[in-house]
Amino acid sequence: MRIGRVVDLSRRVEPGMQVYPGDPGVRFEPAATLEEDGVNVLGICMGSHSGTHVDAPYHFIAGGARVDELDPGLFVGPAVVLDFRGKGPRERTTAGDLGPYRNRLSRDVIAVVRTGWEEHYGTPLYYDHPFLDPGAARMLIEAGVRTVAIDALSVDETVAEGPHPEGYPAHRIILGAGGVIAENLANLGALDFPDPFVSLLPIRLGEADGAPVRAVALELTPGS
């Protein structure tokens, strides 16, 4: 196989970018400059779930694996794009919605949930994305899937403040099964080729509950 196109599925990390309500904002500050120090070095302060990122089990599961402990194989593989762009604001994606994709789901694939909400990134409407209900999350796990990605802020409903009314059930089901979650994917419309191969490899942050990702999709074609 040879690589054709490489599609960037990542958000640009920058100060002022949209983050989950209550998460730390992104701040940049020069630590050294060419003019004064002979080199450019950037000081960066941000949360572990800034921009396009992955959640490790430790994000919600006591004693769960941290991001640096996870098998890198969880973050790479062929993608099955689950197209739910017909869903409205804060609408649930159910196990029934997953039915047409059931025979394509397995431990070998990354399930990429396409809500279309990436179009609202940077606006208040981005917080009102569709989400996976517990039945849908459970069906993915029962099918063998261990990596779930989404083009929205969260696989669960986003709450502006206070405790989550349902306790983040999709996160708990997926992460509780030893799986991982990638959020804030972008540019899914560019996946107009069959069988994209996706990489969601995170920064190997020690003891972290999650980490930013440079997510990409590869078009693999026959040849050498």
- The DSSP annotation for 74-135 comes to GGEEEEEEEE-TT--TTPEE-HHHHGGGGGG--TTSEEEEE-SGGGGTTSGGGGG--EE-HH
158's CB contacts (< 8 A; 6+ apart) are 20, 21, 127, 128, 129, 131
85's CB contacts (< 8 A; 6+ apart) are 114, 115, 116
Name the token pair of 30: 């020069």
Which pLDDT tens digit goes with each residue over 102-125? 999 999 999 999 999 999 999 999
pTM of the entire predicted model: 0.95
Q: Which of 90-94, 135-139, 191-195 has the lowest mean pLDDT?
A: 191-195
133's CB contacts (< 8 A; 6+ apart) are 92, 93, 94, 95, 169, 170
Tell me which residue of 199, 224, 144, 209 sits closest to 7, measured CA to CA: 199
Name the token pair of 181: 């979650």
Tell me which residue of 17, 6, 9 sits closest to 123, measured CA to CA: 17
pLDDT of residue 145: 98
Q: Decide if pLDDT at 160 tops 90.
A: no
